[in-house]
Amino acid sequence: MSQVMDNATQTERLLTTSKAIAEGIAQEMERDPSVFVMGEDVGVYGGIFGSTTGLFERFGGDRIMDTPISETAFIGAATGAAMEGMRPIVELMFVDFFGVCMDQIYNHLAKNTYMSGGNQKIPVVLTTAFGGGYSDAAQHSQCLYGLFAHLPGLKIVVPSNAYDAKGLMISAIRDDNPVMFFMHKGIMGLGWMTPLPSAMAHVPEEPYTIPFGKAAIKQAGDNVTIVTLGIMVHRAMDAAKQLAAEGIQAEVIDLRTLVPLDTATIVESVKKTHRLLIVDEDYLSFGMSGEICARVVEEALDYLDAPVKRLAVPDVPIPYSRPMEQFVLPNAEKIIEAARNLARM
Amino acid sequence: MAKTNSLDAQTLISMYRTMAIIRNFEETMVNVYMEGKMPVFDIAGGTVPGEMHLAAGQEPVAVGVCAHLNDNDTVTAPHRAHHFAIAKGVDLKKMAAEIFGKDTGLGHGKGGHMHLFDQQKKFGCSGIIGAGMPVACGAALAAKKNGKDWVAVSFFGEGTANQGSFHESLNLAALWKLPVIFVCEDNSYAISVPKSKSTSIANNADRAASYGIPGFEIAENDVLAVYEAAREAVARARRGEGPSLMEVKTYRYLGHFQGDPELYRPKDEVAKLRESDPINKLGRQLIEQGAISEGDLVALDQEAAEKVKEAIEFARQSPYPQPADALKHVFV
């Protein structure tokens, strides 16, 4: 198995997240003939969000398979093929679309290993794009990773940048369990999205893995802990710069995976800063932010000098119109304000 | 070939008028959508942000079917929905305002272009593939329970015929003899995937046989051919004889969404399709029949352009919702 690498790498090559993911998939396909890709528009198009760019030309239609719009069939088929020893990567374009095939995911993909008493491996990687901020409205802007994390039996990966995305993708493919790989559209480096240069990274050409359940401390600080993931890592880092100018040192934690969740790193940080802000682009209630809050309360309540603060979508579907959408989504300004208030307590 | 002489001139002119409005609206949106997105395209930027799925070329399906409907009949449509909304009589100004994200829009800016709802015209659409089909069954069930001769029409693309909800809805509607007309727009591509790479048979209308209902294959993008087939399907539904399935071979002139690089189809494909444009064709037929003059045709086009211009202007001038309005309307 290849080595785990740190963020400081020996390469100068800058890649977008979509190219890093495609490269990770290609390298695993070269290494392991049981790896193949299925999904809508993953072939000639290269994936609507670029995660299979160039793979069809390189591996052909037998291993990069465009599917009909038949998600119950092709996601169920991924489970079936995996149970026969294949390692399918299966894409369902937008996470908002999973309603059409949930049974195959939450009753089968997620449970067959358990129901077989651990005898059945199901090495499926289920990729999907998520997130809003570009006026794609209520059925194309959700996050929903909290919903899938709620279901036992699925590992939940949510990278924030190109370097992590490649390492986490290779780990996902090699994992013997179902892994859902969430790609925030805004970090992919797509030509038609608002550019986010900080999501590009120096990505080593050779394969490497990043372990699940190991958060990254993007910036150390003593005054307030900001826990987040995906594109909100970048918003939090922007906020941290401004906060530093005001004399508030924020510690920014990028979870990288929700399942497994690196509770230890969060708790360790809270014991140092005594203040916790959770930033989540998903819905507020019954989700990631509540779960992290609960774990910190369970393990480090006595260390908190202020109530835990959560920034998340206030339990409304994502509205289309720009002023309303910007009102409900977390952003750097809201993070600054929330962290500033926490630091004053 | 459709028999044009079986139709009165007023119906033909009315269908021409609606198709002209749709075409003008969609072509206007091509330009409006790019406002504020140049020189560097950013989907989040501009006058109208987000995805934009336009239906230029697909007018005959919407107009030929909806010509048989009234305000009591329900229509469900997919993500590419403007043409269906216009054909069903949805107010053009309110629709444009919704697409602009304005407070005067159909949904006060909550829904946007893929999620247009008009309770008066009984129109709704969804960004989820196949989602409108069960809903149309429900509208038809309600009509049947209430003893009305109202019908429901569900429009969807050919890629949807491989979705579970297609098969479940056809069976349910056939089993319960629901007054539904399932109308498939075959524009050849499910985003980038051609029909031949996604569908095990050539004609989805053949699938009707599996459910014991009539299937109508309309092989040309011709509003009169659609009109004739829909006449029978709608009449059948109104008589209480149950559902039908229609598939119309149509053309998508533009990308799946605006900004689609369209690498999956030959560059000259659309140019060839435009040579047999269905609106031009009907216009010529009207003149040849002596129903209208060249001057009348120009006037119809101008009238369509004026209507669209007014609607776009209304949308531009309308105020945005207040940011905190986002918190309203989760429940009534």
Q: Are residues A167 and A316 in the same domain?
A: no
- At residue B2, the pLDDT reads 43
Neighbours of A221 (CB within 10 A): 20
Q: Are residues A124 and A258 in the same domain?
A: no
Q: Are residues A148 and A239 in the same domain?
A: no
Which tokens go with A79?
């489970």
Average pLDDT of A20-24?
A: 98
Which tokens go with B28?
């206007």
Question: H/E/C letters for each residue in chain B?
Answer: CCCHHHCCHHHHHHHHHHHHHHHHHHHHHHHHHHCCCCCCCCCCCCCCCCCCCCCCCCHHHHHHHHCCCCCCCEEEECCCCHHHHHHCCCCHHHHHHHHCCCCCCCCCCCCCCCCCEECCCCEEECCCCCCHHHHHHHHHHHHHHCCCCCCEEEEEEHHHHHCHHHHHHHHHHHHCCCCEEEEEEECCEECCEEHHHCCCCCCHHHHHHHHCCCEEEECCCCHHHHHHHHHHHHHHHHCCCCCEEEEEECCCCCCCCCCCCCCCCCCCHHHHHHHCCHHHHHHHHHHHCCCCCHHHHHHHHHHHHHHHHHHHHHHHHCCCCCHHHHHCCCCC
- At residue A92, the pLDDT reads 97
Query: What element of type H or E holds A201?
Result: strand A201-202
From B274, B296, B234, select the one nearest B69 (Cα to Cα).
B234
Q: Are residues A222 and A162 in the same domain?
A: no
Report the residue of B42, B125, B196 to disrupt the A interface, i.e. the one with the largest count of A CBs within 10 Å: B42
Cα(A161)–Cα(A220) distance, integer angstroms: 18
Contacts of A192 (CB under 8 A, 6+ apart): B41, B42, B43, B259
Contacts of B97 (CB under 8 A, 6+ apart): B103, B104, B105, B106, B314, B315, B318
- At residue B5, the pLDDT reads 53
Indicate the residue of B49, B190, B192 with minimum beta-carbon distance to A69. Answer: B190
Q: Are residues A132 and A245 in the same domain?
A: no
CATH of the domain at A85: 3.40.50.970
- At residue B38, the pLDDT reads 86
Contacts of A168 (CB under 8 A, 6+ apart): A157, A159, A181, A210, A212, A256, A257
- At residue A22, the pLDDT reads 98
CA geometry: angle at B132 spanning A319 and B84, to 5°? 85
pLDDT band for B7, please (50, 70, 90 cuts). Answer: confident
- At residue B3, the pLDDT reads 44
pLDDT at A281 > cutoff 50: yes
B168-203 burial, b for 16+ CB within 10 Å, e for fewer? ebbebbbeeebbbbbbbbbbbbbbbbbbebbbeeeb
pLDDT at A98 > cutoff 90: yes
Cα(A35)–Cα(A308) distance, integer angstroms: 43
Residue A9 lies in a domain: no
Indicate the residue of B109, B128, B323 with minimum beta-carbon distance to A139. Answer: B128
Residue A238 lies in a domain: yes
Q: Do A323 and B42 touch (CB under 8 A)?
A: no
Contacts of B269 (CB under 8 A, 6+ apart): none
First to last CA, chain B: 50
CATH of the domain at A240: 3.40.50.920
Out of A149, A180, A202, a domain closes at A202
CA-to-CA separations, B149 to A323, B85, B120, B140, in angstroms, rounded: 43, 22, 18, 9
Say whether A310 sits in a helix, a strand or coil: strand
Contacts of A258 (CB under 8 A, 6+ apart): A145, A146, A149, A156, A157, A158, A229, A288
CA geometry: angle at A93 spanning A313 and A166, to 5°? 90
- Residue B200: closest C-alpha in chain A: A68
Of B16, B236, B252, B253, the catalytic one is: B252
Average pLDDT of A150-156?
A: 98
Residue A169 lies in a domain: yes
pLDDT, tens digit (0-9, with 9 covering 90-100), for B101-130: 999 999 999 999 999 999 999 999 999 999
Judging contacts by C-beta atoms under 8 Å, the chain B residues touching residue A326 are: 323
Neighbours of B39 (CB within 10 A): 4
Whether B264 is catalytic is yes
Q: Are residues A270 and A184 in the same domain?
A: no
Cα(B116)–Cα(B109) distance, integer angstroms: 10
Write the burial class of residue A14 (CB in 10 Å: 0-12 exposed, 13-18 middle, 19+ buried): middle
Q: Token match 């109308």: residue?
A: B183
Residue A191 is part of which domain span?
14-202
Residue A211 lies in a domain: no
Q: Nearest C-alpha of chain B: how many angstroms from A284?
A: 13
pLDDT at B4 > cutoff 70: no
Residue A5 lies in a domain: no
Total tally of structural domains belonging to chain A: 2
pLDDT band for A1, please (50, 70, 90 cuts). Answer: very low
Q: Nearest C-alpha of chain A: how many angstroms from B225?
A: 28
Residue A209 lies in a domain: no
Average pLDDT of A13-19?
A: 97
- At residue A3, the pLDDT reads 43
Amino acid sitting at position A87: R
pLDDT, tens digit (0-9, with 9 covering 90-100), for B224-238: 999 999 999 999 999
Residue A175 lies in a domain: yes
pLDDT band for B1, please (50, 70, 90 cuts). Answer: very low
Average pLDDT of A165-194?
A: 97
CA-to-CA separations, B206 to A196, B216, B218, B246, in angstroms, rounded: 48, 8, 12, 10
Whether B167 is catalytic is no
Neighbours of A189 (CB within 10 A): 21
Angle between the N-to-C axes of helices B9-34 and B92-99, in degrees from 0 to 180, rounded to the nearest 10: 20
Average pLDDT in chain A:
96
Beta-carbon contacts below 8 Å between A and B: 146
pLDDT, tens digit (0-9, with 9 covering 90-100), for A216-266: 999 999 999 999 999 999 999 999 999 999 999 999 999 999 999 999 999
pLDDT, tens digit (0-9, with 9 covering 90-100), for B179-215: 999 999 999 999 999 999 999 999 999 999 999 999 9
Q: Are residues A183 and A221 in the same domain?
A: no
Which tokens go with A135?
């006026």
- Residue B323: closest C-alpha in chain A: A324
Phi/psi at B244 (5° precision)? -140, 160
Q: Are residues A146 and A24 in the same domain?
A: yes
Contact B29, B99 (CB under 8 A): yes
pLDDT at A10 > cutoff 90: no
Q: Nearest C-alpha of chain B: how many angstroms from A316?
A: 6
Q: Are residues A284 and A172 in the same domain?
A: no
Indicate the residue of A45, A136, A194 with minimum beta-carbon distance to B42. Answer: A194
Beta bridge pairs of residue A209? A4
Q: Are residues A120 and A256 in the same domain?
A: no
Out of A202, A236, A253, a domain closes at A202
Q: Are residues A338 and A262 in the same domain?
A: yes
- At residue A4, the pLDDT reads 44
Beta bridge pairs of residue B74? B152
Pairing of strands A216-219, A250-254: antiparallel
CA-to-CA separations, A169 to A94, A159, A180, A181, in angstroms, rounded: 18, 9, 10, 8
- At residue B6, the pLDDT reads 59
Residue A208 lies in a domain: no
Indicate the residue of A41, A319, A326 with minimum beta-carbon distance to B192. Answer: A41
Beta bridge pairs of residue A181? A127, A157
Q: Do B44 and A97 touch (CB under 8 A)?
A: no
Average pLDDT of B290-312?
A: 97
Out of A158, A177, A202, a domain closes at A202
Q: Do A96 and B163 touch (CB under 8 A)?
A: no
Indicate the residue of A69, A191, A324 with minimum beta-carbon distance to B163. Answer: A69
Domains of chain B: 4-319 (3.40.50.970)
Q: Do B50 and A315 touch (CB under 8 A)?
A: no
Say whether A93 sits in a helix, a strand or coil: strand
Contact B213, B149 (CB under 8 A): no
Q: Do A192 and B42 touch (CB under 8 A)?
A: yes
Q: Do B128 and A328 touch (CB under 8 A)?
A: no
- At residue A11, the pLDDT reads 65
- At residue A12, the pLDDT reads 81
Q: Nearest C-alpha of chain A: how many angstroms from B131?
A: 9
Q: Nearest C-alpha of chain A: how many angstroms from B315?
A: 13
Contact B55, B26 (CB under 8 A): yes
Q: How are strands ordered across the β-sheet holding A250-254?
A: A216-219, A250-254, A224-228, A276-283, A309-313
Q: Are residues A193 and A226 in the same domain?
A: no
Of A108, A140, A234, A274, the catalytic one is: A140
